[in-house]
Amino acid sequence: MFKQQTRASFSKKQNWRRKPKTQTLDISKFINKAKVNLIAPEELRYDTFNEFDLIEQVKDCIAKRGFTTPTPIQDKAIPLVINGSDLLGIANTGTGKTGAFLIPLVNKVTKSRTEKVLIITPTRELALQILSEFNLIARPLGIQSVLCIGGTNMYQQRRCLLTPFNFVIGTPGRIKDLISQKALSIADFRSVVLDEVDCMLDMGFIHDIKAILSYLPTVRQSLFFSATVTDQVSKLIQDFSHNVMTVSVKKADTAETVNQNIIRYTDDRDKIETLHQLLIQKGFEKVLIFGRTKWGVSKLSDRLRERGFKADSIHGNKTQAQRQRALSMFRQNFITVLVATDVASRGLDIDGVTHVINYDIPATYDDYVHRIGRTGRNNKGGIALTFVS
């Protein structure tokens, strides 16, 4: 992710890894019984997307996408974004946050093709996921975007920025690089989205984000989406928006659709054997396993393949193409086990993950929340298991 940065900036960005020791975490937080069917229809103000003040072409694209009833965050956020408000949207992962900002912003651009939108995300995978959703909703309307992420060909991105576009979707480091090289000017971008803003700040992108936002026009619409609101998040919002409206549909730190429990083990041999016995049980159909280090994740993936499991891994040492291939294989069920570092815990929407297993205890509780957010999405049940010695 940081391959093209200088040694000094690399060291600075790595400060986000210096988190509290895992032993300080309260293990009881890893145990929680799931609840299902939490969202009652009467909680929504809008029964269908047709009730929003969207132009007909956008409504048609939403219908073709298969969307019918808005999620709670979409229900609350979309009308405010349509009205031009600055917004802080607080919701657990997997609750439809991408649609909450994409739909009204695509509507905004459809009404005025001079509008330009900047969407910033913490990881390449999340940027690609947003791009995929964008293409389904906006491409039929002739609206173009440019993807600006690290680990991919910058020359190609520079060429794309010379063509007509309305959206730029990317990660902070690459966007800042392109601005510095004068390949991207955002002086006329009057809409900006910071998605998973808490994650971006955790990952050390605060200086990059502040630099990017300083290039934007003073009069703009700023949208912030986050699962948690720390003091650092609040300070960033206060610095760059003076009239932000807050909507929250978050009922708890973790989705109540996820059944959470711990798995005890005695030593490393017992740990891998225990994992093996779990994975051969009925119901472990699509399993995402989290490890702490790139080396550990790669080794565990190899060991599982040796034991006959269809497994692969994603981590920061893999190329973007390798990471995307592994994710695609997992999404399409060609592999049933994906072993990952926290690069996969930030906002990825992978349909049908039955289990999340924390093979290594996460460094912080926030990391735990993001990890287990890969299952139990869209009000469906899921299971999260954490290995504890």
- Answer whether residue 8 shows pLDDT above 80: no
Tell me: do 227 and 190 sit in the same domain. yes
Kindly state whether residues 203 and 311 are assigned to the same domain. Answer: no
pLDDT at 251: 64
Whether residue 227 contacts residue 67, with contact meaning beta carbons closer than 8 Å, is answered with no
Residue 290, beta-bridge partner list: 340, 358
Nearest residue to 100 via CA among 72, 122, 119: 72
Mark whether 275 and 294 lie in a shared domain. Answer: yes
- Distance (Å, whole) CA 19 – CA 25: 11
Say if residue 335 is in the same domain as residue 196.
Answer: no
Residue 50 lies in a domain: yes
Q: Note whether 111 and 279 are within 8 A (CB).
A: no
**Residue 134 lies inside a defined structural domain of this protein:** yes
pLDDT score of 253: 62
Q: Is residue 122 part of a domain?
A: yes
Which 3 state secondary structure label does DSSP give 8?
A: helix
The reply to whether 2 falls in a domain is: no
Q: Are residues 244 and 288 in the same domain?
A: no
Q: Tell me, what's the pLDDT at 334?
A: 95
Please report which confidence band the pLDDT of residue 249 belongs to, taking 50, 70 and 90 as the band edges: confident
Cβ–Cβ < 8 Å for 49, 63: yes
Residues of the chain above pLDDT 70, percent: 87
State how far the alpha carbon of 11 is from the alpha carbons of 5, 121, 150, 200, in Å: 10, 21, 17, 16
> Where among 248, 280, 303 does a domain terminate?
248
What's the whole-number mean pLDDT along residues 36-46? 53
Q: Which residue has the higher pLDDT, 21 or 368?
A: 368
Q: What is the pLDDT of residues 288-304, one digit of tens each?
A: 999 999 999 999 999 99
| DSSP secondary structure code for residue 373 in this structure | T
DSSP code for 71:
P
Q: What total number of domains does the chain contain?
A: 2
Considering the domain architecture, whether residues 258 and 223 belong to the same structural domain is answered as: no
Task: Output the pTM of the full model.
Answer: 0.75
Domain span holding position 167: 41-248
**229 three-state secondary structure:** coil
Could you tell me if residue 299 is inside a domain?
yes
Identify whether residues 30 and 47 lie together within a single domain. no
Based on the domain organization, do 184 and 69 belong to the same domain? yes
Q: What is the pLDDT of residue 26?
A: 77
Length of the chain: 389
SS (H, E, C) 309-351: CCEEEECCCCCHHHHHHHHHHHHCCCCCEEEECHHHCCCCCCC
Which whole number is the average pLDDT over 277-298? Answer: 94
When pLDDT is cut at 50, 70 and 90, the band that residue 255 belongs to is: low
Most trustworthy range by pLDDT among 5-9, 18-22, 164-168? 164-168
Q: State whether 216 and 274 are in the same domain.
A: no
Identify the domain boundary among 248, 267, 291: 248
The CATH number of residue 121's host domain is 3.40.50.300
Co-location of 24 and 95 in the same domain: no
- How many Cβ atoms sit within 10 Å of the Cβ of residue 86? 20
- Is 294 in the same domain as 381? yes
User: In 49-153, where does DSSP find H-type helix?
Assistant: 56-65, 72-82, 97-111, 124-138
- What lies within 8 Å, CB to CB, of 156 at 6+ separation is none
Please state the φ and ψ torsions of residue 37, each to the nearest 5 degrees: 55, 50
The H-or-E segment that residue 233 falls in is helix 231-240
If asked whether residues 73 and 16 sit together in one domain, one would say no
Residue 313 CA to residue 302 CA, distance in Å, equals: 9
| Last residue within a domain, chosen from 195, 213, 248 | 248
Residue 1 falls inside a structural domain = no
Is 165 inside any structural domain?
A: yes
Residue 170 domain flag: yes
- Answer whether 346's CB lies under 8 Å from 316's CB: no
Contact between 347 and 128 under an 8 Å Cβ cutoff? The reply is: no
DSSP code of residue 328: H
